Amino acid sequence: MPKILELDQHVADLIAAGEVVQRPASVVKELTENAVDSGASIITVEISSGGMAYIRVTDNGCGIANDDVKTAFLRHATSKLRDARGLEAIGTLGFRGEALAAIAAVSRVELLTREQGADEGVSLFLEAGKVIRMSPAGCPEGTTIIVRDLFYNTPARLKFVKTDRAEGSAVSSIVLKSALSRPDISFRYIKDNKSEYHTPGDSRIDSCIYSLLGREIEAGFIKVNSSDHNVSVKGYVSSPETARGNRSYQFFFVNERPVFSLMLQSALEQAFKNILPPGRFPSCVLYISLKPNEVDVNVHPAKTEVKFISDKQVFDAVYYAALSASDKKIISDNYSTPVENNIKSENVISITPSVQTELISEPRVSYKSDNLFKTINPVINIDSAKHLPAQPPAPQVSPIAQVSQNPAGSFRFIGEALNMYIIIEHENSIWYIDKHAAHERIHFDALNNKNYESMSESLITPVVCRFGHEDVSVLLENSDLLENLGFSVESFGEDAVAVRNIPAEIDIGDTEPVLSDICMQLKYGGTFKSSLLDKIYKIIACKAAIKAGRASGRAELEALAESVMSGDISHCPHGRPVAFEVTKTTLDKGFGRI
């Protein structure tokens, strides 16, 4: 081993910069957060060429004192945190003191700032983190930071940068979330000389949503406002009628910080569970507030995840807030549109208090003591499981005996029960087969087969899916992968895609939900291609499979039974068993014959 030496400051800064500054959107996020922390009431963000050539963030906040400007660009220099105790109660968006140093290390930065009340301001130029020039400047109170030629001195980083279009969309998405997070601040966003957003900053959530998401979305929203002594939830959720085919309009803010959280997503969706059909998702703009020490934001700077001290408390708060809103709207609709009463009244029934309690009760794990069954199986009631995970919960059932290598065809088809379970007789047993799980497995295996060639079906009229800037660019960047799966996806304006082909296995109506789920995986499914593909195949297989609860033809059911009984498959891709055996002996015992 060579001798151990401390890294030179510049190299250390470059390494740190790699963590904080991955793309123009991360620069915009950091600079905008600083502007918010400065107490500004007006913030302007401007970019050109996706932010690679030029980013400017201007605020009218507190400004930086002349003596402090150089310090602000040192690593771990911050005015927001003094000691470890402060970490517990952090109220600002930044606190690490890393951003300015990291940004400056990989670009050319110009800072213009004047402290509130100061006679004059100061301008500072840095290149690759080195101060080139500093001079007094006449400028308005507040701060402007301009970042030019991002990654000009780190060619390796440049390789990871995507097209200007994709980078620009990611920036737009960041600005959108920042602007939504603070209706009390007027945000203006200019992209390639064109004004994209402008919020009034009048502290009204509705006017903020209107300026950012448009009239249509705003009009479909229902107000939510609930609080107990620990958590408050306010904002808007969509009415059931305006639910969408994807989740791109679900925005959550925790203590004014935009966050991504499967738990929050799940709380919202559980509230709509009995109201919306599968594949339709509520939208929302929800502001959750709780004491700073109830939430841990001390995670990786580039991430937007949060940890709550009590997930349950926050889940319940969001769940009930959303539930009360959906409840309100349906009932008021019943008064105003009596024609729809029949359909709607069903929905009202579905959220009666007893059902509510059921929905939020702890996952019920009951143990079947029914001695009709050979194995004693814990049955988890997934419907009432809380904190609905992205993946179904790990199977709690002890694996049912896998079908042994039996020659196909040596069984007798009895029928189907509950539009869900195929029943067959085989040798000395009765077998129950979960038709959806079995079919899902067959599709999944087919997709995994190296020789699999997707059958793509071209649509006479393309399906237009509105996903929002960021998701559109994620999908377009992965168009090759989507093509291999049988989708052809083209851009359709800034925030939508037109889908011309879909895999033959899926229904046209599933196009948007499937692409939306794939997009989630592309964004958050990790970097290992094989595990990512695995998750994507599961999504397609699940949608391609015949649905439990829907009628199927006998031939289809028999073919499925044959695949299962030939021993080809035993578990669905999520690990649930596809077949379940009740032996004659068990039946005989149950009836007291033996």
Instruction: Give me the residues that bind ligand ADP (CB under 6 A), please.
Output: 30, 34-35, 38, 59, 61-64, 72, 77-80, 94-100, 143
- Asked whether the beta carbons of 97 and 78 are under 8 A apart, the reply is yes
Stretch of residues binding Mg ion (CB under 5 A), selected from 96-104, 183-191, 443-451, 500-508:
96-104
CA distances from 460 to 223, 457, 501, 508 (A): 39, 10, 9, 11
- Strand runs (DSSP E) across 160-294, as ranges? 186-191, 194-198, 221-227, 231-238, 250-254, 257-259, 284-290
Figure out which of the listed residues 36, 47, 90, 99 binds Mg ion, where binding follows CB under 5 A.
99
Q: Which does 327 bind (CB under 5 to 8 A by kind): Mg ion, ligand ADP, none?
A: none
Q: Which does 143 bind (CB under 5 to 8 A by kind): Mg ion, ligand ADP, none?
A: ligand ADP
- Asked whether the beta carbons of 52 and 160 are under 8 A apart, the reply is no
- Would you count residue 20 as binding Mg ion (CB under 5 A)? no
Least separation in angstroms between residue 33's CB and Mg ion is 5
User: What is the distance between the alpha carbons of residues 227 and 229, in angstroms, rounded to a whole number?
Assistant: 7
Stretch of residues binding Mg ion (CB under 5 A), selected from 99-107, 122-130, 259-267, 492-500:
99-107
Stretch of residues binding Mg ion (CB under 5 A), selected from 67-75, 87-95, 310-318, 465-473:
87-95
- Would you count residue 144 as binding Mg ion (CB under 5 A)? no
Alpha-carbon dihedral 27, 49, 474, 93, rounded to 10 degrees: 20
Compare residues 105 and 564 and give the one whose CB is closer to ligand ADP.
Answer: 105
Helices (H), 337-370: 341-350, 353-360
- Cβ neighbours of residue 351 closer than 8 Å, sequence gap 6 or more: 274, 275, 323, 326, 327, 330
- Asked whether the beta carbons of 129 and 76 are under 8 A apart, the reply is no
Least separation in angstroms between residue 150's CB and ligand ADP is 16
Least separation in angstroms between residue 43's CB and ligand ADP is 9
Q: Which does 72 bind (CB under 5 to 8 A by kind): Mg ion, ligand ADP, none?
A: ligand ADP
Least separation in angstroms between residue 40's CB and ligand ADP is 7
Q: Which does 384 bind (CB under 5 to 8 A by kind): ligand ADP, Mg ion, none?
A: none
- Asked whether the beta carbons of 386 and 402 are under 8 A apart, the reply is no
- Asked whether the beta carbons of 501 and 204 are under 8 A apart, the reply is no
User: What is the distance between the alpha carbons of residues 244 and 249, in angstroms, rounded to a whole number?
Assistant: 8
Q: Are strands 295-296 and 307-308 parallel, antiparallel or unpaired?
A: antiparallel
Compare residues 26 and 377 and give the one whose CB is closer to ligand ADP.
Answer: 26
Least separation in angstroms between residue 497's CB and ligand ADP is 35
Compare residues 102 and 212 and give the one whose CB is closer to ligand ADP.
Answer: 102
- Would you count residue 34 as binding Mg ion (CB under 5 A)? yes
Nearest to 430 by CA among 581, 559, 565: 581
Least separation in angstroms between residue 34's CB and Mg ion is 4
Compare residues 16 and 579 and give the one whose CB is closer to ligand ADP.
Answer: 16
What's the burial of 429, exposed, middle or buried (CB within 10 Å: 0-12/13-18/19+)?
middle
Least separation in angstroms between residue 150's CB and Mg ion is 17
Residue 231 phi, psi (nearest 5): -130, 135
Q: Which does 217 bind (CB under 5 to 8 A by kind): Mg ion, ligand ADP, none?
A: none
Nearest to 542 by CA among 448, 475, 443: 443
Q: Which does 96 bind (CB under 5 to 8 A by kind): Mg ion, ligand ADP, none?
A: ligand ADP
CA distances from 196 to 79, 188, 216, 541 (A): 32, 8, 17, 39
Q: Which does 80 bind (CB under 5 to 8 A by kind): ligand ADP, Mg ion, none?
A: ligand ADP
- Would you count residue 380 as binding Mg ion (CB under 5 A)? no
Compare residues 31 and 564 and give the one whose CB is closer to Mg ion.
Answer: 31
Compare residues 99 and 254 and give the one whose CB is closer to Mg ion.
Answer: 99
Cβ count within 10 A of residue 234:
16
Nearest to 253 by CA among 36, 449, 532, 430: 36
Q: Which does 239 bind (CB under 5 to 8 A by kind): Mg ion, ligand ADP, none?
A: none
Residue number of the CB closest to ligand ADP reads 94
Q: Quick one: tokens of 314?
A: 């926050």
Cβ count within 10 A of residue 512:
22
- Strand runs (DSSP E) across 84-229, as ranges? 108-114, 121-127, 130-137, 142-148, 186-191, 194-198, 221-227
User: What is the distance between the alpha carbons of residues 14 and 330, in angstroms, rounded to a whole number?
Assistant: 55
Residue number of the CB closest to Mg ion reads 94
Least separation in angstroms between residue 198's CB and ligand ADP is 20
Least separation in angstroms between residue 546's CB and ligand ADP is 53
Least separation in angstroms between residue 369's CB and Mg ion is 59
User: What is the distance between the alpha carbons of residues 579 and 575, in angstroms, rounded to a whole number?
Assistant: 12
Compare residues 40 and 442 and give the one whose CB is closer to ligand ADP.
Answer: 40
In this structure, the chain runs to a length of 594
Compare residues 95 and 187 and give the one whose CB is closer to ligand ADP.
Answer: 95
CA distances from 455 to 483, 485, 501, 508, 512 (A): 11, 8, 10, 14, 18
Compare residues 145 and 485 and give the one whose CB is closer to ligand ADP.
Answer: 145
Q: Which does 97 bind (CB under 5 to 8 A by kind): ligand ADP, Mg ion, none?
A: ligand ADP
Least separation in angstroms between residue 33's CB and ligand ADP is 7
Stretch of residues binding Mg ion (CB under 5 A), selected from 26-34, 129-137, 219-227, 249-257:
26-34
Least separation in angstroms between residue 86's CB and ligand ADP is 12
Q: Which does 573 bind (CB under 5 to 8 A by kind): Mg ion, ligand ADP, none?
A: none
Least separation in angstroms between residue 48's CB and Mg ion is 23
- Would you count residue 94 as binding Mg ion (CB under 5 A)? yes
Question: Tokens 């130029």 map to which residue?
Answer: 125
Compare residues 70 and 162 and give the one whose CB is closer to ligand ADP.
Answer: 70
Compare residues 59 and 196 and give the one whose CB is closer to ligand ADP.
Answer: 59
Q: List residues near Mg ion by CB under 5 A.
A: 34, 94, 99
